[in-house]
Amino acid sequence: MMSVTNNKFQRELGSLYALAIINIVFSGLAMALGVSTSIQNIFTLIASKELMLYQILRTIIGFIAFGISLRWLISSSEILNEADDIKDNYEEKRENVTNEVLTGLILQMTSYYRQNKAKIKKLQVVSGVGGICFLISGTLTLANILPSLIVEPSPWIIAFQILGLALSFGIGIAGLLITHFFYKYSSTWDYRLQKSADAEKAFEKQLEEN
């Protein structure tokens, strides 16, 4: 029984740790892409000396994506730092995991989620909004590429445009998938916390009756 619980704890801890790292990686990529998109379109506006709606829109979206990605990165780093403490604690005791040790680790994980519940909920929203922003950016890039294919510009230009399109859609989809994974994680622990609260109330009621 303890072996099953231990394996389940390892999977959940590993999943949390991986999700935090994935968030950091993609938020960093999102920041870089947001900045490059904004700067590229600013230079285009300066060079053209005209107010082009498409470039202005992409510049604004790039800055919005950068701000969201920065907050995404900070929240992900905070989640990772605290998850890393639990992971280190587990690794230290991994060779000699008793029922008492495992119970303590589970309580530590439960306390961790309770303390970071609001932060994780916000991270879900940030990941989702960031994903939508990059999907919109990818859609705008696609709309810009299609006319270019008709004109037949340099193959290198097309290649860079396609690369930017792939990154935009890739990060956008990743943001939405990460939101889904965090939602599943939160739902599981919300259920456990509710059961824990119910057990505490039942215990308190029993003490009052005795």
Residue 153: its pLDDT value, please? 60
**Helices 155-209, 99-151: inter-axial angle, 10-degree rounding:** 150
Mean pLDDT (the chain, rounded): 76
State the amino acid at position 95 in one-letter form: E
- CB–CB of 54/33 below 8 Å? no
Positive or negative torsion for Cα 16, 18, 23, 24:
positive
Q: Determine what percent of the chain is predicted with pLDDT higher than 90.
A: 0
Q: How far apart are CA 29 and CA 36, in angstroms?
A: 11
Q: How far apart are CA 140 and CA 144, in angstroms?
A: 6
Question: pLDDT tens, 177-202?
Answer: 877 777 777 777 787 778 777 766 76
Percent composition of the chain: helix, strand, coil (DSSP 3-state, to 5): 95, 0, 5
Residue 203: its pLDDT value, please? 61
Residue 91: its pLDDT value, please? 79
Residue 149: its pLDDT value, please? 61
Question: pLDDT tens, 98-129?
Answer: 777 777 777 788 778 888 888 777 777 777 77
Give yes or no for residue 210 having a pLDDT over 80. no
Q: What is the DSSP letter of 50?
A: S
* Residue corresponding to tokens 């215990």: 203
Q: How many CB atoms lie within 10 A of CB 196?
A: 14
Q: How confident is the model at residue 87 (pLDDT cuts 50, 70, 90)?
A: confident
Residue 2: its pLDDT value, please? 58
Residue 29: its pLDDT value, please? 78
Runs of H (alpha helix) within the chain? 2-48, 53-93, 99-151, 155-209
Q: Name the maximum alpha-carbon separation found in the chain.
A: 85
Q: How many CB atoms lie within 10 A of CB 85?
A: 12
Residue 83: its pLDDT value, please? 80
* Residue corresponding to tokens 């306390």: 111
Question: pLDDT tens, 137-183?
Answer: 788 877 777 766 666 566 766 777 777 778 778 878 877 887 777 77
Residue 152: its pLDDT value, please? 58
Residue 176: its pLDDT value, please? 82
The conformational region for residue 138 under phi > 0 = left, psi -120 to 50 = alpha, else beta, is alpha
Give yes or no for residue 1 having a pLDDT over 60. no
Residue 150: its pLDDT value, please? 64
In this prediction the pTM is 0.62
Residue 12 structure tokens: 């959940």
The conformational region for residue 31 under phi > 0 = left, psi -120 to 50 = alpha, else beta, is alpha
- CB–CB of 93/105 below 8 Å? yes
Q: Which residue has the higher pLDDT, 44 or 173?
A: 173
Rounded to whole angstroms, what are the CA distances from 121 to 149, 166, 186?
A: 42, 28, 8
